[in-house]
Every structure is written in structure tokens, then in C-alpha cells.
Structure 1
């Protein structure tokens, strides 16, 4: 004999386990508040990934009341009406929806057939927004009464009558503590605010407990982890010193300055919460030094200059004062239309930071070059040294000296030259981009060079090369046409001339040329300007100008497209904007990597000379300008 047990509330259909559902949150009219409610709702956040049985779903509904109330209270709504109703999704609009607080809701859900989905609707009546009432500043035990000056009141950032938004109240605590620390109160402490709800007046009264403590100066500095770096150099690099007022922002700036030296992988600074016996606060700097040696590879390709590939070896912190030695060897001219054969470029660079004074670096180079261009063949040994000084956050200036011994073969004539020059330059960068490979989206860049030179051995001549380049960037977000950084126009202009000597009195490598990625794409390197009759040999000139307009469009997250047009000309004279104007146009693709965009551009000449190339391809890292 079998015993049959019947459970109240059950139907013949089998209940769903888990119970599928969808959540609908009706808007409140405040977009920020709606976003906070959606983020706080477990019903919404877990509806696809963590479905549960009906009894657990009822528990989730009950939890959502508290979670949504907390979100509303964070915006100052302390008397809201929150309703969560359940209905069978396929029968929405029919029958009576079940209230989330209904004690019979579990049994009602158990009776839902397995093939039915629930629709949970969250409706919110915000009620009146509460405002800040009385703000009380209490001294910590044993401290004098608290009185804030104008600067500290501004740092607090809240006042009586403001909406009682929790984020602003909590931010007031941290902002006031930061302001007190910046005034030298190293041991200051602002406690978590206490709040009292006043439903009758729809206000919240606040009380902050504040301990100022004494005004503190910096004490002795300790340095740990320095194995190869001289402590005396670290001290010279610091922008703070013992005896100065304690200010966290200046300490952090000093820490970042040490991190930027390039010899440390990590720099930390700590201090105790107790003062030294003399009333000062000592600082303890801890360093992790970077690896001293690294090996890198370099490569690039364009159809005019061909491929270039090589390796470099870098030694950091050579003498213990953050000096850097880099040795590089490159093979050049791998199949380029403007090249007649393989060449090489081998050089050694030495950089010594803080040479003579802070923000002033010494750089020196010895370089061996061989390049077999169609314009000329050159073998050269050069040495140069110079100083680069940062004069402001945007401006750098450089000056130095250079000597070069070279042999040049052009049109079957071989000549030796010895050239001495004094290059001077000034650069301005207002783009806000620290890494030159990172694409700029706004601002202006300017580079100006003047190089007085004397050429000896063959046709002794004195001349000065002057050249200036300016580029600017315009983000279409300013017109409301795109999101920031997605659509950008880039414009570049270059002008140069040589004073003091005619074209054939100047060594061929010192003349001005155009063509290639740096000036007019679509034409091979040195392919714009006067040429020797019936040949591909460029003569060069003493004046040059070029301009580029480029449109850069990001596509999805990692890709981009570019369209551009370039123009330029070279002439034999001291006045720019003369000669045969050449124009090129093209398009390209970008793939954005963490270190910068990989560039691929194809360009065609719009009015190429009779012996010019029909198209050019350029591959590299970073934007063209």
C-alpha cells in the first residue's frame, strides 16, 4: 500500500529550479542615481550568471531592498519608497503582481511552471532629498578648539544647505586632512564624520573630530637599497631638504623625480608617525635599482630607404650618477629605391644627466656612417657633444659642437670634406605627451635649428643651415563630433634655408632635400627638388618648404586609419616657397600597442617627375609626426 502526500499550494506542473527571471528598473529621473541603483542591485547583476531556486530568489529580493536603499541614501534620499514586484513574464499585464514583501511569495513562486520566466520590476519614489544641517568641528582629546581658516574651509568642500551626498561628505574628511598636511601638520587626523538624521527638517547634522598636532619640519633623510648609485648624486637630485616644511605633495614630487632618473625600478618614501627628539620628521627613502644592462632591437622599412635593422646595448648608471652608454649597430639600405646598396650606421651615445646644474644633460656621440644613396655615396666619421637644458615645462634648448670627416662620391666625382659646426636648437612641446611615440591629440610642437658651419679641404666655405618645423593637433571632440582622442586632425609645416654659400659650395650631405616620410610622402627620399640631367641623382638646394595635413581616426579599441596629403618644394636660392611644388597623398592603417601605434602608410605622388617612383610604402612605430 502506497502513501501519497499532497503539499498545499502545489499544482500539477513542476516548479523551475533554478528560476529564470529578468529585472526591470524603472528610471528615477536622475541618471547618476539610476546608475548607482543598477550597480547596487544583485537582482540585476546576477540574473544571468547566478540563477537560483525560488526560495533563494526571494532572499535576493529581500536583500535588494537594503542595497537599493543604501544607494539612495548615498544621494541624500533617506525617506524613499522602494517597491519590488514579481509577475510571470509571459503574462505581464494580466493578474495581480506579487509584492516582494508578501509572506506568501515563496509558495507563489513554487507554483510557477518550469517553462515560465519571472519579471521583477523595481519602482522607486525618491522622496525629498535631505540636506546638510549643522556642521560641528570637535577637537580631539587634549587639543584646543578647532577653528578653520578660509583655505581649510574651502578644502572641506561642504557647507550647511548642500545636498547630503555621502561621497561629498566622506571626501570632505580626506580633503581637510590633506589640506592640514600640506600646511605642515604631519600628524593631523580627521576622523570619520558622525551623522545624525533629522527627519522633521529633512537634514543631516555632521560632526568631525579633528587633531591638528604641531607644525613639523623635515628631519634627516635615510637612503636604503643604493648599491651602485652614489648617495651624493641622489641628494643633489632631490627637490626637498631637511629643515623644510613637511608637505606631502612636495615629498611625492621628489619621489617621482628620483623615479624618473631611469636607474631605479621602484622608489618609496616612508616616515614614522612619531617625531624625532628635535621635533622634526625624518624621511626614509627606499630604492630598488634597475638592471644595468639591456639589449634592444631596432627595425623599420620604407620602399625608398629600404629596410634597416640592428641591435643596441645599453649600460645604465655607468659611473654611479645615472650616466647612460648606448652602443648601436644598424644595417641600412636593404632594397630601397633611393639606395644603391647596403650601408651601415654604428654609433656610441653617452648621456650624463644634471651636467653642471639640474635639468641640464650632457650628450656625446661618436658615429660611423656609410650610405649609398642615389643622390650621393657617403662614408663619414663624426663626433659631437652638446648640452640640452630644460628651461621650462614646455621649452628645451640645446647647444654644442660637431666635427665630421667624410668622403662623398657624386656623379663620379669624389671629394673629401672636414666640417666643423656649432648646432643650436630650441624645442617647444605643448601637447602634454611625455612619450614621443604616444600620439598627440592637442597642442603645438615647435622645433627650431640654426647650425653655423665651416667646410674645409674642398671648396672652403662658411654657411649656416636654418630650419623650423611646427605641428599642431585638433581633436574633433571640441566640435562635439567624436569622443576624446578618437578623431584628430594633425598639421605639420617645415621651412628651411641655407645662408652664406651657394648650392655647389656646400657639401652634398649639408644641402636641403625633400621627399620621404619626414616631408613629402609618395616621393622617394630626396626625390623632391632639382636633379642632375638624365639621372635620378638629386642636387639638393638651399631653400626648402613642406606641409602635411593628416586625419587620424581610431577604430574600435586597437585599430585606426589615416588619410593624408603632403606638399613640398626645394630650390636653389635663399628664399623659400620657390621651385617645383610636388604633392603626394595616401592612406594608412594603425595598430595600437602599449608602447605606441604600429604604422603602415601607402602614398602616391600626384605630379611625379619623369623618373620618379609610382608609390611608396612606409612601416614604423609611432605616428609620422
Structure 2
């Protein structure tokens, strides 16, 4: 006996004609005392199989519609009759082809004196007339009982070739993907999924036109088995043909060709095609990228691909802001021009006002810069960046006005590693303790970064893994005598989710550590321009102390000298509260010295707590910290506001 894919066997008595006759004969009856619509309650008795019970509940219209779609007694009878076939299909989908469904209806407001169940069977021809006798205000109690019976298993499994095709023989990978074997439970999900998995495995081998049909099935009640047969059309192994690009208005097709990770002539594989589509979409140039192909091959036997693009907005404007009591407020705007020359170049212009009321500031400053980024420079996964910047800072430690020009290349080694290298020229004027000096500095920044947290967006809080960053910057100061020095700095942060100890849900309670160490070799402190020295204090190192507030200071002032060696460490406990909120407790410590060996000097310790509000783009951060051993001229507390975690 053959059956369809959605329910292999349909059987049972048809009540359509009987129900129609009842409707005709009873429509003219007296139902003045009946409730219309008829309220009812539905109960499905457990079978002992949680998955099957869930399927029965999902299949029952009586259960799903009882609160949202009121019906008359006659329509309720139709809904009951309809549930028989729906619930039988649910049983069969789990392999229970010998099961049965019983539905009884009683007046929920009355109970027989002896406690016996005297409800009407859902198939009783008199059910519509009896439902009319239920008084207004009473509810009908509908009880569904499913008797699964014996679960059928898979009998024979046959793979039949399509007309004119050779016999079907599966290789090891195809057989593993198919996975269908005699003796397995005859569940619909397993039977249908096996054919789909086999077709997917074959397409990955280059069979672009493969088709595995919906299976046919035959019940064997005597053995409680289900024989199934699939018709398979394998077709030829196919290579990729020509690519067609539609929807490109400002983007050069040549850039798309260079960026694609697939090329004509390669083996047809849907997974590689999808990865190539996602890679193009990740450039940010397009609001939508689609790729498809037809059902026929080209004349040369290849499979052409059709790419359809919808380009995104070319210009955007954003705002930037932040606040801390030491550096004060910073606010500004950014204008971005995407796809500047048609090869995914991005130009970003930013203007910021800084030092708005900070305790480590002596006045307002500015930061104007233009960034140009050219992706895939020279090779894939290698970007060229160019920055021109003008800075003015009115810090207590020094006052600086500078122009910078920087060019660099960032290369992504793999998903976790990237390195960068380049060159920088800086012309600056710095006033410190009444002395004004000009500097012309050449430097070659080199850096390597590792991110094992699995977080793609740096604003998204990490819950596990390690981040490592290391920088080496050989530099030369060419004004008033030449001095050579090298700045070296490394930072490590790691995260531990307390769910691994069984005391919280994943991502709710996290411990975070950060350690930073820096050193300057090749010159003494005062032979190095003030802005190139090492400092500590502030959100990047030791909270509770103002920016540059940790380390040597000029006598009887709060002006920082800076140093040639620095180390700092932070510990945080992060706790999510409800869905949108969180709290943080932290302790920071650090020191700066004029020597060339770290872990010397006066250790300063700060502690505090913070609140978090989690938004779709990241947490809004508010931290308050106090110094535990502040110097005589230090601040008593600091406040920090920003977007994203501190580290």
C-alpha cells in the first residue's frame, strides 16, 4: 500500500457525508437554550513519550484554536472530526501506524454522581444535537486519548535509478549522509531527512542536477515494518561555468571577480558557493547578495551562476561621544563615503572636540582625522590604511599640537590572527613645565593581535577565550639632536564563564582579567618626547586615578613626567541581571617607573563598581572607581561612561 511523504498511510472511516446530513437535519431544530458560540476546554492525556505528546499538541486544532476562534456547536463537531485525522498523522509521523485516537466530550460543569465518564464519543452522530443541550455559561470538556500501539521500524530500503540511469551505488560518504538502515524507527523526520541528506551529499560532489525523490512507502502490518523506496537521478559531475553579475551600479565587476573565492572551471559545490556569497556580503558594500542557477547546463556542460546585488547606501553620518571625569567629555561627528573608487574603498572624516571639563585637562582640544581604507591591497585579506590627523591636547602633563601622517598594511593571517606594519611621520609642538619644544618623529609601528574569544564585533562582551596584542615601534626623534628609541607594549586579557562551574547560566556570570606591560629602550626618559613616554591611570590601565595620574610627577605638582617602564593589571566580575541590565565589580593596579625594568615603582590600586545597559549594538558602560592609595594631589574618585566593556 503506497502512501504520501507527509503521512505515509491514510486510513479510517470518512464522516464527511454523515456530518453533512446531520447539519441539514439539525439546522432547523430548536437551540434557544444552547450556547453559541460554544466554549470548550481540551485535554490531551500524556502518552509517556514527551516528543510524541508535543507533536499531538501541535497537531490539534481543538487545542490551538480554543481561545482564539469561538465556534458554534455544529462547527465544533466539525473541528472534532478534523482532529482525528490530524492526530493520527501525528502518531504515524513517529512510526505508530497501529495507533488509535479516542475523543470524548462532556459538560465540564456537571459530573456523574458515580464518577464514571459518561461523555459522548467524538464520532457519535448525535454529538451536534447533544452539544446544543449544554446551557449558556457551561463549557464542553473535550478529552483526547492517544493509544500509540507498536512503533513500526524500517524494513527494506531501496534506491531506484531514474528512467534510463545506471544502478545507484553509494560511496562511503554518500552512505554515511543517507544513514537509512533497516530496523530504525519509521519516523517521518528520519525518512524524509535521509533523502534530503543524500541529495546534499551528492551535490557537494559536483552532481549539480541530482534529484532524490520523495520516498514511497509500504506498510507491512504483519511485521510492523515500513518498506521505503527512493528514486535517484544522479546526473553528470559538473564544473562551474560563466558568472553573470546583475545590479552593480558603482562597484567594478573586476573587484568582485578578484574577491570571489570561487572561479569558473572549479567543481560545483553549493557549500563553497554559499561561502563565497557570504564573503562578498561581508564587505558591507551591499544590502543584499543572491546567487542562483538554472536547471539546465550550458552548451559546454558547465553550470553558469547568476549573482544579483543590491548596493547599500554610499554615504552615512554618525555621532561619537564619551565621558570620564579625568579626560572630560568628547563629542563629534563622522562622515563616511563607502565604495569611493568602486573597489570597496572607504573614506571616513571625523571631527571631535575633547577635554570638555576633565580633571586631567587644562582646556579644550580637538582631534580631526581622515581615514582611507583600501581592502584587498596586493592580495586577499590585506588592507591598506592611510590617516592624516591633526591633534590638540591641553593635558596637565603637557600641551600638544601635532600633525600626523600614517600609512600601514593590516594582514589577516586567519580567523584569529592579524598583523600590521607601516610608517608614521609626526610633526608636533609640546609645552611642558613652561618649556616649549618642537619634535619631528619618524616611526615604524609593528603589531600582532590574537583573538580567541569567538566574538567578531569588538563591542560585544566576550565570555571566554584569550586576547593578545603586542606592539613594537622603533622611532627616531630628529629635532635638537637625534635620539633613537623603541617602544614595546603587550596586553593579554582572558575571560572565564562561571557556567563551567555549574553556578550560572551561559554568559550570565563572567570573570575577566587583563594584564599590560610596556617598556621603552634606547633612551632615557627626558630624551624621549613627552607624548612617547609611558603613562598609567584611567580606564585603559588603572581606574580610580586620572589619566596619566599613576607614575612619577614633577615636584609639588600634579603634572606627570611619564616613564620608560609600565605594568598594570585588572580584574572584573561581570553579572547579567534580567535581560537588559548588568553589574560589574573591579580592582585595578599599576605602576610606572623611569627605569628600564618593569614591576618597579609605587603600585597604585583602584577599585570600583559599574552598571551596564545592554543594547543591540553593545552594552552602555557606567563605572565609578576610587583610588585605594592615592597620592596627595590625586582625585578622590573617577567616573567613566562609554560603549562596550572596558576590555
Q: Does 1:425 align with 2:443?
A: no
CA contact (8 A) 1:189 1:212 kept: yes
CA spacing shift, 1:459–1:210, aligned 2, 3 Å = same
Offset of residue 90 of structure 1: 4.8
Partner of 2:117: 96
Offset of residue 194 of structure 1: 1.3
Deviations 1:370-396 (A, max 9, x none): 011122111111111111111122110
Q: Does 1:30 align with 2:49?
A: yes
What TM-score comes out, normalization by structure 1 length? 0.94
Offset of residue 92 of structure 1: 5.9
Partner of 2:396: 374
CA spacing shift, 1:408–1:40, aligned 2, 3 Å = same
Deviations 1:547-601 (A, max 9, x none): 2222333333333333322222222222222222222233323222222222222
- What is the rounded CA distance, in whole Å, between the counterparts of 1:55 and 1:480 in structure 2? 55
Deviations 1:508-549 (A, max 9, x none): 111112222212222222222222222221222222222222
Offset of residue 365 of structure 1: 0.5
Match of 1:614 among 636, 639, 644: 636
- What is the rounded CA distance, in whole Å, between the counterparts of 1:192 and 1:89 in structure 2? 45
Match of 2:71 among 39, 42, 52: 52
Offset of residue 249 of structure 1: 1.2
Partner of 1:343: 365
Partner of 2:487: 465
Offset of residue 91 of structure 1: 4.8
Alignment of 1:55-454 (within 5 A): 55-91=74-110, 94-98=115-119, 99-454=121-476
CA contact (8 A) 2:563 2:595 kept: yes
CA contact (8 A) 1:459 1:505 kept: no
Alignment of 1:496-511 (within 5 A): 496-511=518-533
- Where 2:363 maps in the other structure, the secondary structure is strand
CA spacing shift, 1:547–1:199, aligned 2, 3 Å = farther
CA contact (8 A) 1:555 1:561 kept: yes
CA contact (8 A) 2:384 2:407 kept: yes
- Where 1:340 maps in the other structure, the secondary structure is coil
Q: Does 1:559 align with 2:581?
A: yes
Partner of 2:5: none
CA contact (8 A) 2:36 2:71 kept: yes
Gaps of 5+ in 2: 1-26
CA contact (8 A) 2:611 2:621 kept: yes
CA contact (8 A) 2:157 2:180 kept: no
- What is the rounded CA distance, in whole Å, between the counterparts of 2:390 and 2:536 in structure 1? 24
- What is the rounded CA distance, in whole Å, between the counterparts of 1:448 and 1:591 in structure 2? 31
Gaps of 5+ in 1: 1-6
- What is the rounded CA distance, in whole Å, between the counterparts of 1:67 and 1:581 in structure 2? 73
Offset of residue 280 of structure 1: 1.3
- Where 1:63 maps in the other structure, the secondary structure is helix
CA spacing shift, 1:409–1:204, aligned 2, 3 Å = same
CA spacing shift, 1:409–1:49, aligned 2, 3 Å = same
Deviations 1:296-320 (A, max 9, x none): 1111112221111111111222222
Shifted more, 482-491 versus 212-221: the winner is 482-491
Deviations 1:137-186 (A, max 9, x none): 01111111111111001111322221122112222122111111111111
CA contact (8 A) 2:449 2:467 kept: yes
Offset of residue 397 of structure 1: 0.6
- Where has structure 1 moved over 6 Å in runs of 4 or more? 7-11
- Where 1:173 maps in the other structure, the secondary structure is helix
CA spacing shift, 1:581–1:202, aligned 2, 3 Å = farther
- Where 2:276 maps in the other structure, the secondary structure is helix
- What is the rounded CA distance, in whole Å, between the counterparts of 1:31 and 1:584 in structure 2? 54
Shifted more, 446-455 versus 264-273: the winner is 264-273
- What is the rounded CA distance, in whole Å, between the counterparts of 1:367 and 1:543 in structure 2? 27
Count of matched residue pairs: 619
